[in-house]
């Protein structure tokens, strides 16, 4: 897993050593800069997730570094903790006014520093999730508008093209009209997928059993799996805790994940569906396939709307999955490598509302 990157900016070698040591013990990847100019260069090359910034430095002081970073669209979201011997209220206010997220006066406790870093990174992650959701919502609206405009002309073009095909006898013309119809079918499928995406926008949450939902989804496409000689193996834990779900939407999400697994398997293969409690407070569902896998460099794109590696794919399956999983306040991760198959893991939170059931299961599994 990629480590979180922290940039330490301080002209005092001892401070730098102390801070980087602590950060590395905490599991961060670190880089250092000894003055303001170098700090700006390191932000470009190291691309940090958080910056610890001393104030009094040669060449350019910490205030100016902070001002410049917060003025740039590219760097303004990187959280900055100002570290300084200055403890006057005016200095702290100035630091915060120009955009620093935190201000710690030396000497400070390293334990407190760690806690503040964790808290800022958590806030940053929530911000990023919110932005992603807003982006998806805006995109959803736009795409829906386009689909609406395309639907009627597409029906006319499709209907006419199919009627023309019935009359055409010339072989070359027939091959052209077949290409036109094939492209129309792709657009029709795309509009259909957009409608599907629209349908999952609202959810009706009720207590339910995830095993029932995944079993139903697998049952719905068992014939397709059989035709490809795909073995489905269930390893479901007994007495799963109930979680809050929108059954119809969740089934749609599971169907999309299974569909991807089926499409990734060329001829024969295996799909394993497993549930296990993930640490305490989570129920983890794993769908693993022995398909073609996903190249490491492609993994970051797979949840993007319209990203597809398939000739006839709309690239909306995992966009649907992502939205449904977010509505369930669950987490989804995909682990894969080219030729290595794919593992999709979904962690559903077990809310405390059902302590008896979740408690019993947790005990049984420890």
Ligand X SMILES: Nc1ncnc2c1ncn2[C@@H]1O[C@H](COP(=O)(O)OP(=O)(O)OP(=O)(O)O)[C@@H](O)[C@H]1O
Catalog residues that contact Mg ion under the rule CB under 5 A. 260, 317
* Contact status: 290 vs ligand X (CB under 6 A): no
Residues numbered 227 to 266 that lie near ligand X (CB under 6 A) are 256, 260-261, 264
* Contact status: 315 vs ligand X (CB under 6 A): yes
User: 213, 291, 330, 347: which one contacts ligand X (CB under 6 A)?
Assistant: 291
What is the chain's alpha carbon radius of gyration, rounded to the nearest angstrom? 27
Question: Do 5 and 46 form a contact (C-beta atoms < 8 A)?
Answer: yes
Question: Do 265 and 291 form a contact (C-beta atoms < 8 A)?
Answer: yes
Selected range binding ligand X among 14-22, 44-52, 97-105, 311-319, rule: CB under 6 A = 311-319
User: 192, 313, 349, 359: which one contacts ligand X (CB under 6 A)?
Assistant: 313
Question: Do 317 and 252 form a contact (C-beta atoms < 8 A)?
Answer: no
User: Between residues 95 and 293, which has the closer beta carbon with respect to ligand X?
Assistant: 293
SS3 301: coil
| Partner in contact with 50, chosen from Mg ion, ligand X, none, beta carbon below 5 to 8 Å by kind | none
User: 106, 118, 310, 353: which one contacts ligand X (CB under 6 A)?
Assistant: 310
Question: Do 276 and 237 form a contact (C-beta atoms < 8 A)?
Answer: yes
The token duo for 238 is 């007994």
Selected range binding ligand X among 60-68, 109-117, 176-184, 288-296, rule: CB under 6 A = 288-296
Q: How many residues bind ligand X (CB under 6 A)?
A: 23
Our CA angle for 92, 128, 95, nearest 5°, is: 10
**Mapped to the 3 state alphabet, what secondary structure does 286-299 carry?**
EEEECCCCCCHHHH
* Contact status: 42 vs ligand X (CB under 6 A): no
Question: Do 232 and 225 form a contact (C-beta atoms < 8 A)?
Answer: yes
Which residues make up the interface to ligand X (CB under 6 A)?
193, 256, 260-261, 264, 289, 291-294, 302, 307-310, 313-319, 342
């Amino acid at each position: 897993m990629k480590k979180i990157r922290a940039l330490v900016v301080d002209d005092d070698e001892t401070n730098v050593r102390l801070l980087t040591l602590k950060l590395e013990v905490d599991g961060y990847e670190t880089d250092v800069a000894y003055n303001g100019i170098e700090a700006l260069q390191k932000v470009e090359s190291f691309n940090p997730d958080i910056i610890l910034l001393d104030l009094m430095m040669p060449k350019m002081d910490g205030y100016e570094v902070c001002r410049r970073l917060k003025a740039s669209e590219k760097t303004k979201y990187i959280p900055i903790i100002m570290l300084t011997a200055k403890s006057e209220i005016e200095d702290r206010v100035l630091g915060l006014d120009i955009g620093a997220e935190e201000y710690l006066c030396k000497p400070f406790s390293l334990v407190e520093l760690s806690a503040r870093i964790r808290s800022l990174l958590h806030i940053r992650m929530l911000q990023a999730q919110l932005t992603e959701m807003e982006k998806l919502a805006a995109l959803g609206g736009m795409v829906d508008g386009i689909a609406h405009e395309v639907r009627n002309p597409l029906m006319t073009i499709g209907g006419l093209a199919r009627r023309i095909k019935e009359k055409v006898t010339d072989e070359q013309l027939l091959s052209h009209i077949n290409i036109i119809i094939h492209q129309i079918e792709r657009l029709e499928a795309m509009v259909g997928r957009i409608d599907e995406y629209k349908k999952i926008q609202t959810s009706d949450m009720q207590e339910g059993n995830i095993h029932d939902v995944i079993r139903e989804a697998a049952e719905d496409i068992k014939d397709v799996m059989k035709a490809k000689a795909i073995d489905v193996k269930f390893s479901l834990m007994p007495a799963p805790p109930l979680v809050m779900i929108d059954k119809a939407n969740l089934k749609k999400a599971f169907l999309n994940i299974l569909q991807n697994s089926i499409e990734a398997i060329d001829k024969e293969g295996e799909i394993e569906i497993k549930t296990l409690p993930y640490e305490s407070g989570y129920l983890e569902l794993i769908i693993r396939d022995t398909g073609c896998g996903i190249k490491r460099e492609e993994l970051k794109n797979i949840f993007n709307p319209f990203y597809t590696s398939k000739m006839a794919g709309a690239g909306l399956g995992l966009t649907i999955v992502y939205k449904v999983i977010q509505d369930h306040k669950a987490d989804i991760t995909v682990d894969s490598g080219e030729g290595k198959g794919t593992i999709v893991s979904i962690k559903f939170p077990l809310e405390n509302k059902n302590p008896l059931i979740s408690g019993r299961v947790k005990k049984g599994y420890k």
